[in-house]
């Protein structure tokens, strides 16, 4: 055995003076205990060395300092760990999702999960900032634009436009005593119009600004157009009120608010190009926004008594029965 003779070198010193109150047998036992303890300490800690335990590294054979752990009696100040779940540490959910998307192919769903990594507080804060601007919207996003808000805001606008226009048209049909049938083409028109404006138009603007050397960010452009549609949700709900002048005022205010939001936040990006080029792109942005505003007004907010029956709907007309002969 490897431990054989471990205590063979222990010598019992008999030269010490015997205390008058102890027997010779007791002295030998006490000296033996002392020498065993001394030999054990020397075996594991070394003679005159610091009390340090060395752990063998099984992680790698590179011999790097990070692969060996030391527990020393004179250890330095312990490292400060992030406290709570809100700190950017091991329990940070945003950092965890971003780490999971590293190395994922662009055609996988996991690759796009980082663009939907927002919470309700962030989305609501960005929605309010698009209606009541208090500063630069790009600074509010902090370099982390998302696609969650633009997608669901666009979808909500489509749903609200169809529902509110259908409610008003059904009321008008009831008042005028005319039959009413849902016009499903309004829903498809809303899908095409809103999704094109929220995703296709910013992609075209991004391509133009990229071509002229403005160096824009596509996600920031999509976020601007997506969150800029937030104002149309309350406008669509308020346009249920049966006053055409009020509807015009609401549409103008909504179009102006969203237009100012776009121009204000896109101007710093467009100013990187030449003055003439930036003016042309800015005019294009304003014209496309004005076209959207007019489409919404005349397609969804122009309620009249004749809107009860859609153009392509069919209501069977029963001819009076001929009198029997």
What is the separation, in whole angstroms, between the first and last Cα of the chain? 128
State whether 32 and 165 are in the same domain.
no
Tokens encoding 73 = 């009696």
Q: Hey, CA dihedral for 227, 233, 238, 243, is it positive or negative?
A: positive
Helix (H, G, I), strand (E, B) or coil at 313: coil
Contacts of 276 (CB under 8 A, 6+ apart): none
Nearest to 285 by CA among 308, 264, 312: 264
Residue among 154, 146, 143, 106 nearest 122 (CA): 146
**Structure tokens that stand for 87 in this block:** 């700190």
Domain range enclosing 291: 122-308
Specify whether 130 is located in the same domain as 220: yes
Token pair in block for residue 306:
């004749």
Residue 153 lies in a domain: yes
257-270 residue pLDDT tens: 999 999 999 888 88
Q: Based on the domain organization, do 35 and 140 belong to the same domain?
A: no
Pair of tokens at residue 29: 């036992």
pLDDT in tens, 300-315: 887 654 443 444 443 4
- Which pTM was predicted? 0.61
241, 168 contact by CB (below 8 A): no
Evaluate whether 223 touches 145 at the Cβ level (below 8 Å).
yes
For residue 52, being part of any structural domain is answered with: no
CB atoms within 10 A of CB 301: 22
- Say whether both 126 and 32 belong to one domain: no
Cα separation, 130 vs 233, whole angstroms = 12
Q: Is 148 a member of any domain?
A: yes
User: Same structural domain for residues 174 and 286?
Assistant: yes
Indicate whether 115 belongs to any domain.
Answer: no
Q: Is residue 106 part of a domain?
A: no
258, 231 Cβ separation under 8 angstroms: yes
Q: Is residue 190 a part of any domain in this protein? A: yes
Distance CA 285, CA 197 (A): 11
Give the CA radius of gyration of the chain. 39
For residue 286, being part of any structural domain is answered with yes
Kindly give the confidence (pLDDT) of every residue in the chain, 325 residues in length, as a single tens digit, with 9 standing for 90 and above: 444 444 444 444 445 455 444 556 666 766 766 777 777 666 655 554 444 445 444 444 444 444 444 444 444 444 443 433 333 433 344 444 444 555 565 666 677 777 788 888 999 999 999 998 778 888 888 888 889 999 999 999 999 999 999 898 888 888 888 887 778 888 999 999 999 999 999 999 999 888 887 878 899 999 999 999 999 999 999 999 888 899 999 999 999 999 999 999 988 888 887 888 888 999 999 999 999 999 999 988 876 544 434 444 434 344 444 444 4
| Rounded-to-integer distance, Cα 313 and Cα 259, Å | 36
Question: How many structural domains compose the chain?
Answer: 2
């Amino acid at each position: 055995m490897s431990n054989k003779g471990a205590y063979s070198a222990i010598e019992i010193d008999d030269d010490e003076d015997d205390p008058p109150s102890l027997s010779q047998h007791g002295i030998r036992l006490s000296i033996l205990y002392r020498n065993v303890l001394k030999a054990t300490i020397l075996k594991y800690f070394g003679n005159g060395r610091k009390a340090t335990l060395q752990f063998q590294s099984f992680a790698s054979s590179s011999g790097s300092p990070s692969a060996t752990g030391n527990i020393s009696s004179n250890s330095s100040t312990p490292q400060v760990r992030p406290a709570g779940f809100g700190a950017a540490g091991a329990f940070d959910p945003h950092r965890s999702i971003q780490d999971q998307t590293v190395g994922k192919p662009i055609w996988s769903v996991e690759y796009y999960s980082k663009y939907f990594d927002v919470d309700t507080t962030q989305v609501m804060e960005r929605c309010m900032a698009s209606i009541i601007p208090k500063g630069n919207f790009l600074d509010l996003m902090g370099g982390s634009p998302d696609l969650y808000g633009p997608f669901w805001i666009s979808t909500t606008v489509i749903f609200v436009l169809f529902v509110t226009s259908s409610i008003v048209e059904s009321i008008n049909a009831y008042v005028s005593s005319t039959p009413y049938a849902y016009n499903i083409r309004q829903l498809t028109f809303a899908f095409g119009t809103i999704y094109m404006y929220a995703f296709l138009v910013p992609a075209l603007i991004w391509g133009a600004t990229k071509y002229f050397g403005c160096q824009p960010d596509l996600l920031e452009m999509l976020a601007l157009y997506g969150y800029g549609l937030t104002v149309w949700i309350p406008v669509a709900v308020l346009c249920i009120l049966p006053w055409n002048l009020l509807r015009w005022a609401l549409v103008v205010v909504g179009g102006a608010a969203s237009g100012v939001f776009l121009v204000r936040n896109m101007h710093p990006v467009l100013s990187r190009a030449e003055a003439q080029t930036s003016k042309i792109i800015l005019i294009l942005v304003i014209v496309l926004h004005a076209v959207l505003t007019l489409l919404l007004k005349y397609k969804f907010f122009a309620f009249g008594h004749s809107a009860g029956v859609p153009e392509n709907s069919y209501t069977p007309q029963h001819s009076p029965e001929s009198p029997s002969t």
